[in-house]
Amino acid sequence: MQEKPLKLAGNNVVPLTSKTTVDRLKELLELAENGEIKGMLVAGFRSNGEVITGWSNINFAETATLIGHLNVDLMKRFIDANYITPE
């Protein structure tokens, strides 16, 4: 299924899905090297089950904004998978 960008607060949200972790990181690295990503928030699972988190070049408000975008993306995934239905 091709994911469509969501529109939220004037920003385009493009879910990062359907690629391997390495492929996605390479794509993000290329965007950052081209100056298309100015800052980011990251979270991931290590192979041993530990969670790794971090951020780069973002302030508190930008951090909260990115977390909000992730929450909206998660809710959309729940709705698309019919886990929850909108009222």
Q: How many domains does the chain have?
A: 1
Question: Does the residue 51 lie in any domain?
Answer: yes
Rounded to an integer, what distance in angstroms lies between the CA atom of residue 38 and that of residue 56?
A: 8
Residue 67 lies in a domain: yes
Alpha-carbon distance of 78 to 66, in angstroms, equals 19
pLDDT tens string 1-40: 444 444 444 555 555 566 788 888 998 999 999 999 999 9
What's the pTM?
0.67
Query: Does a structural domain hold residue 48?
Result: yes
* Model confidence at 86: pLDDT above 90: no
Mean per-residue pLDDT, 61-83: 89
Domain that holds residue 70: 6-80
- Closest listed residue to residue 1, CA positions, set 18, 23, 13: 18
For the chain, how many residues are written? Answer: 87
What tokens appear for 57 in the block?
Answer: 């070049």
Q: Give a yes or no: residue 85 inside a domain.
A: no
d(CA 27, CA 33): 10
pLDDT tens column, 41-54: 999 989 999 999 99
Whole-angstrom Cα distance, residue 32 to residue 55? 14
